């Protein structure tokens, strides 16, 4: 963000004099405009750093996309500013090559476009940084361990080892590890992190408890119903990250880290796309990492399921039958269920293959 701020500052300082001078002279015929700022060579000197240094991140990405026969917003900006700068340079260096009635230069347009685009990206980066900090605070609300009753004994286990149906004991002052329904005991629970209400809520047998809320006075037992990516906190983190274009950062020691759902990827020969499905443990954030033949990585949130993530040939979710469902920690599933026969052909006759990651 510091580098982007410097580029915006340089673009503003160098472009503003040219823009003000040209607009004042052309639109209002202002006599107070210094003649030096209307000189083409002076404008060239001022706008050249904006074009080639401040706008370098845009041009680099834009030309790379064009080289691979794709186009995006960076490509549009690159082509437009390059055409305007190149034409203006030709008019400045060799005006005789251009008809007299079209010898205008467009240096101010180049400076305005690049500077405004960079300013927009700076504002976006700052907004995402604020959202990222909020997501990190949400992740910090998670309990790290849970006291589970197994074989009649209370055992403290990491939060990621809790399974649906486990009976969990919560004592005064402890956080509720996961979502569930109380089975025994009575207590007051602070649910302000979800409802915003500061008054604790009394919980008795049969009431619902939410993970990351804080138990106040008594002790109780509850049966876990939603764990991992199915908890309310995980869904809040997932929606917050996806809504801002971010994914939740790797959480601290709750057994996090990037865990590979399935150690293989499917390659479709038609598009040469490799799909890697990952899961961020602890946050419940399911991601599909699509690495294309262009070398660009794209992260897309996928619909959370109980230990599954669904990706089709193009990396998009499908609601139909022809889709690949990857179980957590599983190996290659039944390909016939995904619309493939034993030869790796789908129902349309296209061939795919599964390769190790």
**pLDDT recorded at residue 242:** 62
**pLDDT recorded at residue 196:** 80
Highest mean pLDDT among 53-57, 126-130, 227-231: 53-57
By mean pLDDT, which of 34-43, 73-82, 211-220, 236-245 is the weakest? 236-245
Q: Which residue has the higher pLDDT, 139 or 244?
A: 139
**What's phi and psi for 266, nearest 5 deg?**
-100, 130
Other Cβ atoms closer than 10 A to 125: 13
Distance CA(318)–CA(25), nearest Å, equals: 57
Find, among 278, 281, 280, 284, the residue nearest to 234 by Cα.
284
pLDDT range class, residue 236, cuts 50, 70, 90:
confident
pLDDT range class, residue 128, cuts 50, 70, 90:
confident
pTM over 0.75: no
Report the mean per-residue pLDDT for the chain: 74
Average pLDDT for residues 291-299, to the nearest whole number?
A: 36
- Backbone angle region of 284, left / alpha / beta, with phi > 0 → left and psi within -120 to 50 → alpha: left
**pLDDT recorded at residue 13:** 95
Distance CA(202)–CA(183), nearest Å, equals: 14
Which residues contact residue 302 at a Cβ distance below 8 angstroms, ignoring those fewer than 6 apart? 277, 286, 287, 288, 309, 310, 311, 317
Distance CA(80)–CA(234), nearest Å, equals: 43
Which H or E run contains 324?
strand 324-327
Contact 119, 8 (CB under 8 A): yes
Residue for token pair 């996090």: 256
Q: What is the pLDDT of residues 38-60, one digit of tens each?
A: 999 999 999 999 999 999 999 99
Contact 261, 329 (CB under 8 A): yes
- Count CA atoms closer than 13 A to 254's CA, side-chain side: 24
Average pLDDT for residues 112-137, to the nearest whole number?
A: 86
Tell me the C-alpha to C-alpha distance, in Å, between residue 354 and each of 138, 207, 345: 37, 46, 12
Distance CA(107)–CA(64), nearest Å, equals: 24
pLDDT range class, residue 255, cuts 50, 70, 90:
very low
User: Which residue blocks in 225-283 are alpha helix, DSSP H?
Assistant: 232-243
């Amino acid at each position: 963000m510091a580098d982007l701020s410097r580029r915006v500052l340089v673009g503003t300082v160098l472009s503003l004099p040219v823009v003000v001078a040209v607009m004042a002279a052309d639109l209002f015929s202002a006599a107070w405009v210094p003649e030096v700022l209307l000189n083409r060579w002076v404008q060239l000197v001022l706008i050249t750093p904006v074009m080639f240094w401040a706008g370098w991140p845009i041009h680099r990405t834009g030309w790379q996309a064009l080289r691979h026969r794709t186009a995006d917003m960076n490509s549009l900006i690159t082509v437009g500013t390059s055409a305007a700068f190149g034409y203006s340079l030709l008019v400045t260096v060799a005006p005789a090559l251009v008809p007299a009635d079209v010898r205008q230069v467009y240096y101010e347009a180049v400076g305005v476009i690049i500077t405004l685009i960079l300013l927009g990206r700076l504002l976006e980066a700052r907004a995402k940084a604020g959202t990222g900090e909020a997501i990190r605070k949400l992740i910090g609300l998670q309990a790290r361990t849970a006291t589970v009753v197994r074989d009649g004994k209370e055992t403290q286990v990491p939060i990621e080892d809790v399974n649906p149906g486990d009976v969990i004991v919560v004592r005064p002052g402890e956080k509720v590890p996961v979502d569930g329904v109380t089975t025994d005991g009575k207590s007051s629970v602070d649910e302000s992190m979800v409802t915003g209400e500061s008054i604790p809520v009394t919980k008795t047998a049969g009431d619902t408890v939410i993970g990351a809320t804080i138990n106040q006075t008594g002790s109780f037992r509850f049966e876990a119903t939603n764990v991992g990516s199915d908890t309310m906190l995980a869904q809040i983190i997932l929606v917050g990250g996806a809504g801002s274009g971010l994914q939740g950062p790797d959480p601290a020691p709750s057994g996090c880290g990037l865990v590979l759902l399935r150690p293989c990827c499917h390659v479709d020969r038609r598009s040469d796309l490799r799909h890697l499905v990952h899961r961020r443990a602890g946050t419940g954030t399911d991601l599909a990492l699509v690495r294309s033949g262009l070398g660009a990585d794209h992260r897309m949130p996928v619909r959370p399921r109980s230990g599954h993530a669904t990706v089709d040939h193009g990396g998009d979710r499908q609601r139909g039958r022809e889709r690949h469902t990857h179980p957590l920690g599983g190996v290659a599933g039944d390909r016939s269920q995904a619309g493939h026969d034993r030869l790796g052909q789908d129902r349309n006759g296209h061939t795919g293959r599964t390769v190790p990651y």
